[in-house]
């Protein structure tokens, strides 16, 4: 694993922890200060789904081909061959 991928993983981890902490703090404030609590919860959700998730998807999908994950005729044939081979081995 190279250094830039490690940095992105740490960044995603900090973003997720920060977002979850913001959501938890917002729920803790919900009884006393509703407006401020809703802001903390909203910032946490935005951080989680609009910042952390795209960064995670970008870091994990780098260098992979999209055609390997699509159901094309070629990939279906490969899957059937693997099923046949695993059935023969059992």
In a domain, 90, yes or no: no
In a domain, 30, yes or no: yes
This prediction's pTM:
0.70
In a domain, 41, yes or no: yes
pLDDT value of position 15: 94
Task: Please tell me the total count of domains within the chain.
Answer: 1
Residue 56: give the domain boundaries: 3-64
In a domain, 72, yes or no: no
pLDDT value of position 1: 66
Per-10-residue mean pLDDT of the chain, 90 residues long, equals: 83 95 95 94 95 90 80 87 80
In a domain, 40, yes or no: yes
Cα-Cα-Cα-Cα dihedral of 70, 73, 74, 77, to 10°?
110
HEC profile of the chain: CCHHHHHHHHHHHHHHHHHHHHHHHHHHHCCCCHHHHHHHHHHHHHHHHHHHHHHHHHHHHCCCCHHHHCCCHHHHHHHHHHHHHHHHHC
């Amino acid at each position: 694993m190279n250094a830039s991928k490690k940095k992105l993983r740490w960044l995603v981890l900090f973003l997720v922890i920060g977002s979850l902490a913001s959501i938890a703090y917002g729920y803790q404030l919900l009884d006393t200060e509703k407006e401020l609590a809703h802001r903390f919860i909203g910032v946490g959700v935005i951080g989680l789904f609009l910042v952390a998730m795209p960064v995670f998807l970008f870091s994990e999908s780098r260098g992979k081909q999209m055609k390997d994950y699509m159901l094309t005729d070629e990939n279906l044939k490969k899957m059937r061959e693997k099923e046949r081979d695993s059935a023969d081995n059992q």
